Amino acid sequence: MNKEIKKGLVPVLRFSEFKDSGEWEEKTLGSFCKIGDIDHKMPLSVTDGIPYVMTGNFFGINNIDFDNAKKISIEDYEQLSRKIKPEYGDIIIARYASVGAVRYVETKIKFLVSYSCAIAKCSKSENSKYLYYVFQSDDIQTKIGLEINMSSQKNIGIDSIKKLNIFSPTFPEQTKIAACLSSLDDLITAQTQKIEALKTHKKGLMQQLFPQEGETVPKLRFPEFRNSGEWNEKPLGKIAEIITGNTPQASDSDNYGGNKMFVSPADISDSRYIVKTKTTLSELGYSKTRHIPANSVLFVCIGSTIGKIAQNKFDCATNQQINSVVPFKNYSSDFLYFALDNDSSRIAELAGRQAVPIINKSSFSVVSINIPPEEKEQTKIANCLSSLDDLINSHVKKCELLKTHKKGLMQGLFPVAGEK
């Protein structure tokens, strides 16, 4: 009679060749691999040296920004790496800031990690890429969350990492799981690269479609408008109504919780359109605001996110940190969105180096932008860039679907603690 397999010591999803391989083993990370960190010394920076990686240098799925990492001398590297140093196949674990974030070392270049990171080294009997995915699982991330020290800067200690329990199958099954998830990561990376390439293309195209500083015609112009004359430089206040938002009294709960969007800078992300907001207004609250018609251009003019820009899909109100641009007749709102997006960095500089950066309504209204003499050309440019936005968004959705699929797959491929 086969030994009864405990529920929770096998995954919901298992590759066919391992279905009869028995239970997974539960063990501590400290027994699965060697885990350590470097001495708590902050070495001096040098102009050209060995990369010194911190958690702020993590980006993407599994990327480390070596180029912008601090550089240290070879002497400091040799001294600080005597106890442990990152090598090909190791795993870097964030102990501070983004606690629990991990990176798999896929380079053979010399580098060092700061004491904000731990290094995990697997023996030849364990698959380190498998452990990399274990760290991404909901189970281990939950366990890490329970071990975080909530001091002035949240962190997790080396001993706490070592005592975390994980489930471990045989080496061949570890390898199969790692290969499966790696192939999915490759798809996500390729999709991300497509998105970045399209964004770069869009940025370059915008530089061609709008006149550069000191010029009156763009370098790239649609054939039907090549004889349409120079573009005109006009202040925003002459081509649109500028509306600064306001906030209904926060202490009156009757003002909030309805179906009217109330836009703040926190609602403006990389997406062009705002379709819902974190805070909503009741009809009463909405009656106390300055109403912004749908498809206006919303520009953040106060605070650390000054220069962020979006369009509202529906009628809304905004708080006082946002100036809304509502175009007059014969001016395209979509064109103004792209024109302001193209000039957002230049406009943001008008705020200067104040403690709280601000561009008031008067200053914003006199900001000049170049605009084609014909509305048809405005529309043509906006449609061209909108179609590129649609293409980017379709790839973003594909990427999000792949990430969702990976998350679901991981939930099936790893046993869940506590379900024995």
Q: Residue 406: is its pLDDT beyond 50?
A: yes
Residues 146 and 218 in one domain: no
Average pLDDT in the 3-32 region? 83
Q: Residue 360: is its pLDDT beyond 70?
A: yes
pLDDT at 213: 86
Residue found under tokens 């992300």? 269
Q: Residue 2: is its pLDDT beyond 60?
A: no
Residues 42 and 157 in one domain: yes
Residues 10 and 32 in one domain: no
pTM of the complete model: 0.83
Residues 176 and 262 in one domain: no
CB 285 within 8 A of CB 339: no
- Span 285-333, pLDDT tens digits: 999 999 999 999 999 999 989 999 999 999 999 999 999 999 999 999 9
Counting the structural domains of the chain, the total is 3
Q: Residue 90: is its pLDDT beyond 70?
A: yes
Residues 155 and 83 in one domain: yes
Residues 98 and 161 in one domain: yes
Tokens of 263: 């836009």
Residues 162 and 188 in one domain: no
List of residues 6+ apart from 53 with CB closer than 8 A: 64, 66, 69, 86, 92, 111, 112, 113, 114, 117
Of 149, 168, 187, the residue that ends a domain is 168
Residue 265 lies in a domain: yes
pLDDT at 396: 94
Closest CA relative to residue 179, chosen from 146, 216, 132: 132
Residues 346 and 244 in one domain: yes
- Span 37-85, pLDDT tens digits: 987 778 899 998 999 999 889 987 788 999 999 999 999 999 998 889 9
Residue 227 lies in a domain: no
Query: Which structural domain range is residue 68 located in?
Result: 25-168
pLDDT at 8: 52
* E strand spans, 209-304: 232-235, 240-244, 256-263, 273-274, 279-281, 297-300
Q: Residue 386: is its pLDDT beyond 70?
A: yes
Mean residue pLDDT across the chain: 92
Residues 268 and 352 in one domain: yes
Instruction: Indicate the pLDDT class of residue 410, thresholds 50, 70 and 90.
Output: very high
Could you tell me the CATH number of the domain that includes residue 42?
Answer: 3.90.220.20
Residues 322 and 195 in one domain: no
Could you tell me the CATH number of the domain that includes residue 179?
Answer: 1.10.287.1120
Residues 124 and 154 in one domain: yes
Residues 157 and 187 in one domain: no
